[in-house]
Amino acid sequence: MNKFSFSFLLFLLLLTSSAFAQQLNLIQNIKGREFTSLNGQWNYIMDPYEMGYYDYRHMPFDQSASGKGGFYDDREQKNKSELIEYNFEYAPQLVVPADWNSQGDIFKFYEGTIWYRKKFSAAPKTDKKYLLYFAAVNYEAHVYLNGKKLGVHKGGFTPFQFDVTGKLNQGDNVVVVKADNTRKQDEVPTVNTDWWNYGGITRDVLLAELPQTHINDYKIQLAKNNLNRIEGYVQLDGKDLAQQITVSIPELKIKTTARADASGRVNISIPVKKMTYWSPENPKLYDVVVSSGTDEVKDRIGFRTIEVKGTDILLNNKSVFFRGISIHDENPLLQGRLRNRGDMRMMLQWAKELNCNYVRLAHYTHNEEMIRLADEMGLMVWAEVPVYWTISWENPETYKNAQQQMTDMVVRDKNRASVVVWSIGNETPLSEPRHKFMGNMAAYTRSLDDTRLVAAALEIHREGYDLIVDDPLGEKLDLVSFNQYGGWYWGAPKDLPKYSFKIKYNKPVVITEFGGEAVAGYHADDETRWSEEYQESMYKYQLDMLSKVGALRGMTPWILVDFRSPRRQHPVYQNFWNRKGVYSDTGEKKKAFFVLKNFYDQMQQKYK
């Protein structure tokens, strides 16, 4: 090992341990705790010049000697001569959780800072601990409680929290959030994406009340490839750590008790004889109760194994075919992010109508509620981080950020049976720095969770009629997954059957994307772009071509529903919509829907 690679390894190790510290902090199953919701109407100030953050010399107020002067002071004029150039009390309101873009034309293309303010009442008790929890804010959030800064979080799709014990007033409190969705090259995602950059407090804001020593985290899942053993851990947080901890699953007559070690941790290993395993056909969830001397948390957990053997994917030891579809976190009817369980159920129900047993939640971490619904409704999930296209491969901060987003996703969703694949990224271009970055991401993700598959959406290259998959990253992944747009970005649909795949790896092939655009209700012959007939025939030829891949074990065509993207400019057909949905933006099924459903019906019979 040369000096450079040794120091790089050391650097990675350091990153890993700091990420792990964070991992231990993020609370598991926030909605299973005592909490007050801070959702609802928040006053807001749109601040494109960030005058609420910087003084006229462009120095941040919150880094000045007094720490005061910013909008987070939430001041009001007290006498007739006082000058204050903002006022939250008279400011208009935005709904939380929700992106701002879908709440008025003025916000549609807005990228920058919006300040949010919420007043709430609290009655903090001296023997309790309090967490202020944000399920997601896009992209950079500065959070202030009663005029004092709690901290900053970057990353638009993962949760974060602050310990506010001792910081809450009896009675009136005020929380101010500076949400900034400015795109930047070195961030994750980077400046260039094919989706709408929805800004704001897009997911729940909760104030949790916990016992001083509480159950902070737990993993209760089947051991790797073992249908007969539940394995995992429970982690306490607080001062009084050496407590008795009990994990019980009443329906299975399981009850196991052990004392936590000095760090508050108990590893669990429970043999199981007879249980109903979770599957899309029977998405069985068990009530699980974790209790300690001072705390108790209830959850609903499914148990299943997932593994790869040769070119097969085995769910509970049985070969499966992933009948999937890709989904963005967007409700086309609102033209905004999914806001609640109703929105999410609609999307997953549409996938079920297509006879899916699997969804790819692209291209970033979706709402925890979405994953919980997938658990309930019986849909396996590919979960992804926004390492998308050409991010800054050589910037260590960018790597750290990507790794942190993976940590937070795995920490949050590790008890969800539906999640079977962790995806480390999408369509990342080949280069040495990228191989290093992505290779490290793959190894890191496995170190966080060895019970699920690790994958990425790769690209192909073409030589004549050969479609070649030989990305070196493929060696480090469990699935051969790639996007290919034959019949849309290259090749005529009817020529697709002439192509054949040359795949270097002997692993299950799960195609992450193919597709093409169609405007619902526009009918023409099958060579006319944008028509439903074009998309329909392209799907037919694609499926003919793909059926010849012996190792084909699934796919998630692009995409369930038309979605909004600033990159899609055609004034007649697109108008800022990417029209590759098999459903239109109003939920109409296009002709391609039926081609795909028919194929999935056949696959369901074949893999019975």
CB 256 to ligand GCB: min, Å? 44
Among positions 434, 580, 590, 591, the unique one binding ligand GCB when judged by CB under 6 A:
580
Tell whether residue 513 is a contact of ligand GCB (CB under 6 A). Answer: yes
Residue 331 sits in the site that holds ligand GCB (CB under 6 A): no
The residues, ordered by sequence, that sit 6+ positions from 372 with a Cβ below 8 Å of its Cβ are 300, 416
Tell the smallest beta-carbon distance from residue 457 to ligand GCB (Å).
6
CA 390 – CA 127 distance, rounded (Å): 49
* Token code pair at residue 519: 């405007």
Minimum distance, C-beta of residue 459 to ligand GCB, in the bound complex (Å): 8
Q: Which one, 42 or 501, has the nearer CB to ligand GCB?
A: 501
Give the residue with the Cβ less far from ligand GCB, 50 or 194. Answer: 194
Q: In 137-153, which positions are buried (b, 16+ CB within 10 angstroms) versus exposed (e)? A: bbbbbbbbbbeebbeeb
112 and 48 Cβ atoms separated by less than 8 Å: yes
The residue from 158, 161, 426, 481 that contacts ligand GCB (CB under 6 A) is 426
Give the span between the Cα atoms of 45 and 178, in whole angstroms. Answer: 9
Name the residue among 459, 452, 508, 450 with its Cα closest to residue 484.
459
Binds ligand GCB by CB under 6 A, chosen from 364, 558, 583, 593: 558
In this structure, the dihedral spanned by the alpha carbons of residues 261, 266, 269 and 270, taken in order and rounded to 10 degrees, is: 110
**Pair 502, 474: CB distance under 8 Å:** no
Looking at the Cβ atoms of 260 and 559, the one nearer to ligand GCB is 559
Q: Please, which residues have CB within 8 angstroms of residue 275's CB and are 6 or more apart in sequence?
A: 252, 286, 303
CA–CA dist 315, 302 (Å, integer): 13
Tell whether the torsion through CA atoms of 331, 335, 337 and 343 is positive or negative: negative
Q: Does 427 bind ligand GCB (CB under 6 A)?
A: yes
Of residues 263-302, those binding ligand GCB (CB under 6 A) = none
**C-alpha dihedral sign at 488, 355, 602, 468:** positive
CA distance 367 to 135: 8
Min. distance of Cβ 371 from ligand GCB in angstroms? 20
What's the rounded Cα separation, in Å, for the pair 193 and 183? 10
Nearer to ligand GCB, 132 or 458 (CB): 458
Of the two residues 132 and 188, which places its CB atom closer to ligand GCB in the complex? 188
547 — phi, psi (to 5°)? -60, -20
**Measured from the CB of residue 456, what is the shortest distance to ligand GCB in angstroms?**
11
Give the count of residues interacting with ligand GCB (CB under 6 A): 9
Minimum distance from residue 488 beta carbon to ligand GCB (Å): 8
- Binders in 347-366 for ligand GCB, by CB under 6 A: 363
Which residue has the CB atom at the shortest distance from ligand GCB? Answer: 194
Give the span between the Cα atoms of 351 and 597, in whole angstroms: 10
Q: How far is the CB of 426 from ligand GCB (least distance, A)?
A: 5
Report the nearest approach of ligand GCB to the CB of residue 185 (Å). Answer: 18
166-205 binders of ligand GCB (CB under 6 A): 194
Min separation Cβ 183 and ligand GCB, Å: 15
Closer by beta carbon to ligand GCB, 446 or else 570: 570
Minimum separation from the CB atom of position 563 to ligand GCB (A):
8
Q: How far apart are CA 265 and CA 25, in angstroms?
A: 13
Q: Is the Cβ of residue 380 or residue 458 nearer to ligand GCB in the bound state?
A: 458
Q: Rounded to whole angstroms, how far apart are CA atoms 559 and 350?
A: 12
542 lies in the binding site for ligand GCB (CB under 6 A) = no
- Residue 40 dihedral angles phi and psi, to the nearest 5°: 130, -145
Over its C-alpha atoms, the chain yields an Rg (Å, rounded) of 25
The residues, any chain, with a CB within 8 Å of residue 118's CB and separated by 6 or more, are 38, 40, 42, 43, 96, 174, 175, 205
Q: Which is nearer to ligand GCB, 449 or 513 (CB)?
A: 513
Contact assessment for residue 514 and residue 496, using Cβ atoms and an 8 Å cutoff: no
Q: Does 578 help bind ligand GCB (rule: CB under 6 A)?
A: yes
- Rounded to a whole number, what is the distance in angstroms from the first to the last CA of the chain? 50
Contact 335, 104 (CB under 8 A): no
Binds ligand GCB (CB under 6 A): choice among 158, 357, 483, 542: 483
* Cα 58 from Cα 84, distance rounded (Å): 18
- Least Å distance, CB 580 to ligand GCB, is 5
Measured from the CB atom, the residue of 393 and 563 that comes closer to ligand GCB is 563
Q: Closest separation between CB of residue 474 and ligand GCB, Å?
A: 17
CB of 412 to ligand GCB, least distance (A): 23
Q: Which is nearer to ligand GCB, 192 or 226 (CB)?
A: 192
Minimum Å gap between C-beta 362 and ligand GCB is: 7
320 vs 592 by CB, closer to ligand GCB: 592
Distance between CA atoms of 34 and 16, rounded to whole angstroms? 31
For ligand GCB, give the closer residue by CB, 215 or 467. Answer: 467
| Residue among 344, 506, 330, 522 at smallest CA distance from 418 | 344
3-state secondary structure of 300: strand
- Which 380-399 residues touch ligand GCB, going by CB under 6 A? none
Query: From the CB of 539, what's the least distance to ligand GCB, in Å?
Result: 15
Residues binding ligand GCB (CB under 6 A): 194, 363, 426-427, 483, 513, 558, 578, 580
